[in-house]
């Protein structure tokens, strides 16, 4: 082998390095100047991070992995996961920063990565509050997962998320609504709904992170149906609805939409309009096409029979999922029409009867029998249902209004909101005062106030209604949109006032005396209002409506059966499948969760599974 002959003077070339400035790091660490938008190593604000994983999804090099954190609790809107970066893969493109909905992720001006293992490029992103004040910590004190990143300072951000340049669309498509002056004299639906173009544009905002699904009581496949809407396949979206929720037209209008509160985009902008998208897709498939879209229903028919008491959301949901599983369900409803509180407690301007009937009619079409005007305990007993059916599901709602029981509430012109709402639905003649005071600050209070405003407009051509409630406006139970819309329609909201007595003179109501409410709950969070009785205010009125909540009527449960039922406080104790301590009796809906449509629907779905399991085991 022939090698090149080297000069004998070659070693002396190294002498030139003796006179050059050495490239070593000074201790303690000194930050070198970098560009203002330098894309260095990552920083993640833990308190802001939602664990949505959008940074991992968008990374072109699969450099980011979401890692579960045992010390973190997963709550609606925030997963117990944090991003971990493999700097052997990261190209510092910054897409992860641009897609981060809460803006918790940024690229620092720092560019030195220290790890105890020379072969490891993994870096667990530090929390700025934990590491921002540290000067330098030896790498040996860090684990592989928590690489030494102490030199990254909180005030040393380089490439940060800016809303104007973000890949996230923070502004939702505006929803059309009938102007207040036009709507307050009519019970026609006030929300106009999305067009096809608007719906697809709104659906395009969804990042499909799934935070909303964790917050949905029914665990609906929200990401899947929003993607279907974006792709223009509304029938596919409807099929996703019916996997967990057989009342999409209803929920698309009156759902409490907790999913939107969990939406990651809502941290800095407006959340995706999930409820309105559901309404759009549900309305886009007409009633006559539902069977074609969803299929014929049950593939088999079991001889086992189930009695369901109450045709509200829980009862209808349970009956539907029992029917598609092949079981014969019969609903016993006391009122002339099915729907429960959805029909007799929610005004038509919020939930039109045609939308309500569309969902209910389809449930009946798959084999569910609904016997209206059949009150259990009066027309048929619970014992008779037990003997004639293999299982019974109690899903009666909260239809009994609660009273403040202050002086004067026994007057004939003091009404319960839930009773008046039912009378309006049935088309009965109702008393309409010229000056009305509503006691209460929840959605029912807003519903009755706005309903009476419409009746006042028809009779007196003006609105004179005041709502008084214990809560200050920032903690009122009513949704913000209900409060704002009520004000637009001329209704006065007087928060933090408690009823003291109703003044009556010459046999007629003169008005309501109130006192200042200083707090609603005690230190343990229990309802225990306190008042400043020196701060008094009088509201003139010739009619008072109480809307402080509802209670169930369980008088149809025989005493001997009631004694066999285990209780949790005042409520019947049930298993995860909503089975009571009496094996053949299942209980759900308002009786377990309280008055909330989407929780009731979820209860019905779970109860149907529990009943099916019970019947299978029994056979």
396-408, pLDDT tens digit by residue? 999 999 999 999 9
| Mean pLDDT computed over 224-243 | 98
Residue 504 has pLDDT above 70, yes or no: yes
| Mean pLDDT computed over 586-593 | 94
CATH number of 78's domain: 3.30.70
Same structural domain, 534 and 579: no
Same structural domain, 420 and 533: yes
| Counts for the chain of helices (H) and strands (E), in that order | 22, 23
Residue 297 has pLDDT above 90, yes or no: no
Beta strands 571-572; 567-568: pairing state: antiparallel
**Which pLDDT score, from 0 to 100, does residue 147 have?**
40
**Which pLDDT score, from 0 to 100, does residue 128 have?**
44
**Which pLDDT score, from 0 to 100, does residue 108 have?**
84
Residue 523 has pLDDT above 60, yes or no: yes
Q: In angstroms, how far is CA 259 from the centroid of its own chain?
A: 4
Query: Which position has the higher pLDDT, 279 or 48?
Result: 279
Residue 137 falls inside a structural domain? yes
Residue 143 has pLDDT above 60, yes or no: no
Same structural domain, 146 and 203: no
Q: What angle do CA 385, 386, 388 make, to 5 degrees?
A: 60
Residue 11 falls inside a structural domain? no
Query: Which position has the higher pLDDT, 552 or 138?
Result: 552
What is the per-residue pLDDT across 33-56, written as a single tens digit (0 to 9) for each?
778 788 988 888 888 999 999 999
Of 526, 548, 570, which residue sits at a domain end?
548
| Mean pLDDT computed over 184-188 | 95
* Stretch (H or E) spanning 281: helix 274-284
Same structural domain, 289 and 374: no
Same structural domain, 198 and 333: no
- Name the residue among 25, 24, 83, 20 with its Cα closest to residue 51: 83
| Mean pLDDT computed over 354-368 | 97
Residue 8 falls inside a structural domain? no
Same structural domain, 514 and 486: yes
Which range is most confident: 93-97, 141-145, 436-440? 436-440
Residue 16 falls inside a structural domain? no
Residue 372 falls inside a structural domain? yes
Average pLDDT score, the chain:
90
Whole-angstrom distance, CA of residue 541 vs CA of residue 500:
14
CATH number of 441's domain: 3.50.50.60
| Mean pLDDT computed over 300-304 | 74
For residue 347, the number of C-alpha atoms closer than 13 Å in the C-beta half-sphere is 25
CB atoms within 10 A of CB 50: 21
CATH number of 239's domain: 1.10.1060.10
**Which pLDDT score, from 0 to 100, does residue 141 have?**
38
Residue 548 has pLDDT above 60, yes or no: yes
Same structural domain, 394 and 428: no
**Which pLDDT score, from 0 to 100, does residue 478 have?**
96
| Mean pLDDT computed over 500-522 | 97
Q: In angstroms, how far is CA 41 from the centroid of its own chain?
A: 36
Residue 151 has pLDDT above 70, yes or no: no
Same structural domain, 149 and 212: no
Same structural domain, 33 and 160: yes
Of 293, 322, 355, which residue sits at a domain end?
293
Residue 384 has pLDDT above 60, yes or no: yes
- Residue 218: give the domain boundaries: 185-293
**Which pLDDT score, from 0 to 100, does residue 4 have?**
63
Residue 24 falls inside a structural domain? no
Q: Is 580 left (phi over 0), alpha (psi -120 to 50) or beta?
A: beta
Residue 72 has pLDDT above 90, yes or no: no
Q: How many structural domains compose the chain? A: 4
The answer to whether the beta carbons of residues 382 and 556 sit under 8 Å apart is yes
Residue 17 falls inside a structural domain? no
Residue 499 has pLDDT above 70, yes or no: yes
Residue 131 has pLDDT above 80, yes or no: no
Same structural domain, 393 and 508: no
Same structural domain, 394 and 420: no
What is the per-residue pLDDT across 92-124, written as a single tens digit (0 to 9) for each?
999 999 999 999 999 988 776 665 565 556 655
Of 168, 198, 222, which residue sits at a domain end?
168
Residue 463 falls inside a structural domain? yes
CB atoms within 10 A of CB 369: 14
Least confident of 24-38, 197-211, 336-350: 24-38
Least confident of 136-145, 227-236, 258-267, 600-609: 136-145
Same structural domain, 537 and 413: yes
The answer to whether the beta carbons of residues 139 and 132 sit under 8 Å apart is no
């Amino acid at each position: 082998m022939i090698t090149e002959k080297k000069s004998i003077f070659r070693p002396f070339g190294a002498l030139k390095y003796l006179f050059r400035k050495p490239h070593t790091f000074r201790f303690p660490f000194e930050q070198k100047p970098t560009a203002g938008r330098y894309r260095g190593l990552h920083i993640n604000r833990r308190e802001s991070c939602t664990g949505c994983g959008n940074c991992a999804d968008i990374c072109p090099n699969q450099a980011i992995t979401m890692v579960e954190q045992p010390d973190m609790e997963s709550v609606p809107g925030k997963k117990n996961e944090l991003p971990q970066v493999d700097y052997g893969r990261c190209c510092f493109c910054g897409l992860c920063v641009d897609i981060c909905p809460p803006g918790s992720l940024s690229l620092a001006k720092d560019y030195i990565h220290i790890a105890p293992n020379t072969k490891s490029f993994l870096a667990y992103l530090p929390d700025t509050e934990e590491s921002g004040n540290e000067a330098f910590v030896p790498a040996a004190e860090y684990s592989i997962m928590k690489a030494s990143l102490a030199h990254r300072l909180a005030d040393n951000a380089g490439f940060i998320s800016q809303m104007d340049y973000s890949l996230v669309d923070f502004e939702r498509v505006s929803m059309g609504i009938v102007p207040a002056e036009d709507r307050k004299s009519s019970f026609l639906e006030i929300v106009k709904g999305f067009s096809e173009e608007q719906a697809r544009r709104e659906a395009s905002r969804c990042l499909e992170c799934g935070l909303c699904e964790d917050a949905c009581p029914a665990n609906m496949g929200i990401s899947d149906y929003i993607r279907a809407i974006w792709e223009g396949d509304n029938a596919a979206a409807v099929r996703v609805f019916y996997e967990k929720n057989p009342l999409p037209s209803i929920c698309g209008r009156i759902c409490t939409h907790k999913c939107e509160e969990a939406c990651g985009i809502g941290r800095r902008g407006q959340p995706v309009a999930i409820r309105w998208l559901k309404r759009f897709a549900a309305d886009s498939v007409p009633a006559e096409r539902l069977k074609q879209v969803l299929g014929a229903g049950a593939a088999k028919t079991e001889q086992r029979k189930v009695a369901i008491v109450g045709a509200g959301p829980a009862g209808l949901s349970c009956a539907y999922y029992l029917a598609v599983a092949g079981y014969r369900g019969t609903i016993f409803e006391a009122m002339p029409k099915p729907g429960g509180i959805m029909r007799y407690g929610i005004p038509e301007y919020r939930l039109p009867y045609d939308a309500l009937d569309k969902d209910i009619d389809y449930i009946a079409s798959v084999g569910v029998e609904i016997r209206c005007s059949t009150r259990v305990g009066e027309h048929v007993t619970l014992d008779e249902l037990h003997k004639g059916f293999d299982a019974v599901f109690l899903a009666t709602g909260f239809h009994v209004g609660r009273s403040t029981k202050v002086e004067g509430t026994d007057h004939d012109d003091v009404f319960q909101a839930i009773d008046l709402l039912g009378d309006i639905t049935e088309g009965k003649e109702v008393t309409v005062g010229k000056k009305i005071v509503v006691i209460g600050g929840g959605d029912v209070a807003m519903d009755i106030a706005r309903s009476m405003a419409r009746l006042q407009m028809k009779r007196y051509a003006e609105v004179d209604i005041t709502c008084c409630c214990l809560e200050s406006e920032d903690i009122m139970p009513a949704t913000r949109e209900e409060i704002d819309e009520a004000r637009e329609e001329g209704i006065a909201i007087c928060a933090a006032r408690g009823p003291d007595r109703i003044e009556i003179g010459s046999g007629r109501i003169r008005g309501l005396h109130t006192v200042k409410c200083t707090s609603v709950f005690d230190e343990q969070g229990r309802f225990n209002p306190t008042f400043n009785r020196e701060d008094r205010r009088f509201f003139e009125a010739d009619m008072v409506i109480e809307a402080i909540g509802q209670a169930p009527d369980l008088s149809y449960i025989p005493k001997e059966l009631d004694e066999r039922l285990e209780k949790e406080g005042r409520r019947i104790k049930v298993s995860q499948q909503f089975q009571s301590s009496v094996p053949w009796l299942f209980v759900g809906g308002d009786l377990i969760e309280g008055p909330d449509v989407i929780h009731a629907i979820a209860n019905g779905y779970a109860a149907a599974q529990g009943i099916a399991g019970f019947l299978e085991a029994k056979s």
